[in-house]
Structure 1
Amino acid sequence: MTTTTIPTRRPVHRPSIGDVVFTTVNSLVFLILVILCAYPFYYLIINSVSANDVSALGDVRFWPIGVQFANYEQVFQLPGLSQAALVTIGRTVIGTAATVLASAFLGFMFTQRRMWGRLFWYRFVIVTMYFSAGLIPVFIIMKNLGLTNNFWVYVLPFVVQPFFIILVKTYVESMPESLQEAAELDGANIVQIFFRVYLPNMTPILATVAIFAAVAQWNSFQDTLIYITDQNLYTLQYQLYMYINQASSLAQAAQQAGGDLSAIAGAATSQTPTSIRMTVSVLVVLPIIFIYPLFQRFFVKGIMLGAVKG
């Protein structure tokens, strides 16, 4: 005699009043936080495309008034902006690539027990996170190395970043050692193991490092102020700093560059200090905002796996 068992249906969980209240309040809090974070960027954009005479009075708060795009046409004619954009893009691309590669290789090498003086060199690198020589000694070193008024001052000092090395090292330690053992049995040397075995499997943590490095390179400002006097090597962030301080004179220069266009359009499209600040700020901020979501899907996984071992 066979017995049949009737599957029991799992009880349906009905949210209680407390659950509904918690979910509602939680959603409202996060919605408010999203608005607070997004509004400053939205404010910059709507003021940059609004009529300049209205934005100068501070009347543009929630939606654009008198939409026009003459600001961007005239701002692109400001002296030094295109050259600064090329310098900033160059330092961001080259600097990020160099930092990611160096962090990946050093993080991998510090996991190799047969590396000579591994613990010493690892601690030697980490200690630089806590101690610095100071501004003047660092400037003297850069000058003696010939890096002042040199594009490579944007790249070389930032190649080795201890925090990124810690993240990569911890991530590599979470990977199975059998990967390396199998490659060694096939006759691969340490360089081949790194480039062919480990590097392709580091995508999440390398994407995380790339985000941090790219944002830091794009937003860097003080290195130009300290080490650079050649205007051909100015970055966008430094140009933004100068544009904000010289907004009134630049507004007049933009009006003169616009020629008859400014005369025909009148006050609505005539550049003002406010329009200069808003438009240049948008041009500097938007590229990194568009790039960030491309790496977002790797960010959480990479930072968690690179921060916790086990």
Structure 2
Amino acid sequence: MTITQLTYVLAVAEYQNFTKAAEKCFVTQPTLSMQIQKLEDQLSIQIFDRSKKPIELTDVGRKIVSQARNIVNESYRIQDIVDQQKGFIGGEFRIGIIPTVMPTLLPMFLKTFIKKHPKVKLKIEELTTEEIITRINDGHLDAAIAATPLENANIKERVLYFEPFVAYVPNNHRLKDKKILEVSDLDIDDMLLLEDGHCFRDGVINLCKGFKDQTDEHFQLESGSIETLIKLSNEGMGMTLLPYLHTIDMSESAKQNLHHFTAPSPAREVSIIYHKSELKMQIIEAMQEVIASVVRGAIAFRNVQIVSPLAK
């Protein structure tokens, strides 16, 4: 068997279609099919049940795909070893960033990183944490930036920074006159939240539930973006919580509605995460170094309490 054959198997397993898999592998469909058939003949088993639409893995096929993914990933390590030996930091690097981090962090570090490491070709996608975990495990992302800890055995985490939660309280809200808040002041029933699927939403829910015995998730309103939450709050629909970096470029009038928390301030942990196979570590370490240097000047908070991003 060959690495190429195993790569073709992984592609068909993912796309459940020989034609789509061939397109993604940049080969003709007959070539891909012939190589997979050759592998099946050699092993005297069927990896795919071709009678199903879409194509499905057989029971033994699932086991083969799991092992094939490990073998293909390990084969990439050879090039990594060579690159690290030469001190080379370059090549394609696929990274995912969660939506509540992308608009604030990316403009802070991207220009600096590109200038410092011009041989790295970044491919950046905005993805939810769930999508990121799937793509890292499938080998379609080299790394990601997300809220942690994720408690996933296949994923390693390197903390980049701790980002405090800041309350945005409109003028008509019951907490408008209390500039320094206690977490116990929060009431989830008058909190504007991001839509389901955002880990920052789960962090807010976990924060409120940690200090109030709330089991009924009765929300007034949910939205898909932090900017919309702020606008809705200004319309008197409730208060909301924001990640600290989202507050830096606010107008002076909007900053009048910001309320910080007493120490230790609730915060989220933001990390660069990657598969435990540790591929392309030289690029991951370079990115960690650049991000840490640019964020260090923006976030000086140290006395924080980390809020879990995991949905309870």
TM bin (shorter chain): under 0.3
Q: Which has the higher contact order (CA 8 A, sep 6+)?
A: 1
More helix, by proportion: 1
TM-score (norm 1): 0.22
- Choose 1 or 2 for highest CA Rg: 1
TM-score of the pair, normalised by structure 2: 0.21
